[in-house]
Amino acid sequence: MTRLTVVLAVIAIGLVLWFKISRAPADKRKNLIFWSTAGAIIGTLVVLAATGRMHWLYALGGTIAAFMPRLISALRYLPLLNRLRQQFGGQTAQHSGQRPAGRANPGKMTAEQAREILGVKAGASKDEIIKAHRRMMQKVHPDRGGSDYLAAQLNQAKATLLG
């Protein structure tokens, strides 16, 4: 009987919030949604703590804490992965008969693309290009768990810029 009462109370509160949010002006709606969500999360945590069912939440927190250093270190690869995604997008457009944007010759790499891959400016010296190539290669080298494709792209970019 107690569970039924709790379920009916939760449904009633949800309906009241739904009607209140749907009738609220646009400028207050975002604030109402935020506080309703925060209240629901806090209420759920209080109920779980009161009934002794928070052990799974502690396990989840411990797992996240254990993997957090690896997740943070993996974030440094996001710019490189974004460029890879753009290049793969260009290759799929090439196979469908369309010319990929930004690539004049599908087999060759332009100097602009090479500078973008290595992250150097237009007037970069030979030493700057070599340092940028070495720095990027240390991150994506296949011997360190990186990708053959990314290493080949870096080598091609260095060759394009140095001639």
pTM, two decimal places: 0.38
Give the domain ranges of the chain.
1-52, 85-162
Report the CATH architecture of 85-162.
Orthogonal Bundle (1.10)
Average pLDDT, the chain: 83
Express each pLDDT in 26-67 by its tens digit: 888 889 999 999 999 998 888 888 888 888 888 988 999 999
Burial 90-116 (b: 16+ CB within 10 A, else e): beeeeeeeeebeebeeeeebeeebbbe
